[in-house]
Chains A and B, each alone.
Chain A
Amino acid sequence: EAQMLQSGGGLVQPGGSLRLSCAASGFTFINYAMTWVRQAPGKGLEWVSVISGSGGTTYYAASVKGRFTISRDNSKNTLYLQMNSLRVEDTALYYCAKGLLNYVGGGCDYWGQGALVTVSS
């Protein structure tokens, strides 16, 4: 069964940077798109970014475009989210999720446990 183990969350000051990691196992990583979704405290789900299996196609939500970078290392079965110029409104629980297929527009069938990012001075 697919599993994702997330790491890298924490407390950072506004304007700071943080990198989230998501180590995948139990499936052929390169064959699936991977997605980041976040959830602010007490709020709903917000899609952040998606990357194709090869890493050649990426998309971002308007709220993070130009500040966040999604990437993957298929040799290490690991997904990353580099977050720069962090804002207070980026405070959220960040989930990585496995796509149903190698299709950036599809749903996600397995999710990580979440990594809390808190942006505060």
Chain B
Amino acid sequence: QSVLTQPPSPSGTPGQRVTISCSGRSSNIGSNTVNWYQQLPGTAPKLLIYNNNQRPSGVPDRFSGSKSGTSASLAISGLQSEDEADYYCAAWDDSLNGQVFGTGTKVTVL
């Protein structure tokens, strides 16, 4: 069961800015860093943001992450058709002694 809550399915037109929220609690987001993953249809997840706001090499700077308290956000600016995918947040949970994922958010590019 997902412990981190994400909005269902935002959509946007090319060029727009889309923001995805991730709500947790003190034992996970409130105490540990947040990572974001992008999963294109039929493929394995890809690390998009780590340590709240760091981008791995090769990830466009259109993607940015932030964290405040027990919530985190992923922003996609200049939305492109290839950004149509499922996005998941994740964080370690000190109470569960395990990683927890968000419920997932499907971004649709109109």
Contact = CB atoms under 8 A, between A and B. Distances in A.
B99 A35 contact: yes
Interface in A15-64: 35, 37, 44-47, 50, 59-62
A12 interface: no
Interface string B30-50: 001101010100001111001
A9 B103 CA distance: 25
A45 B90 CA distance: 10
Interface residues of B, number: 26
Nearest to A47: B99
B32 A45 contact: no
Contact of A44 (B35, B46, B98, B103): B103
B97 A59 contact: yes
B53 to A, nearest CB: 12
Classify chain A's interface size: 20 to 34
Nearest to B105: A44
Contacts of A45: 37, 39, 45, 88, 90, 101, 104
16 contacts: A37-B45, A44-B86, A44-B88, A45-B39, A45-B104, A59-B98, A62-B96, A62-B98, A104-B92, A105-B92, A105-B99, A106-B50, A107-B35, A109-B47, A111-B44, A111-B46
A-B pairs, 8 with minimum CB distance: A105-B92, A107-B35, A47-B99, A111-B44, A44-B104, A107-B50, A45-B101, A109-B47
Interface of B: 2, 32-33, 35, 37, 39, 44-47, 50-51, 56, 86, 88, 90, 92, 96-104
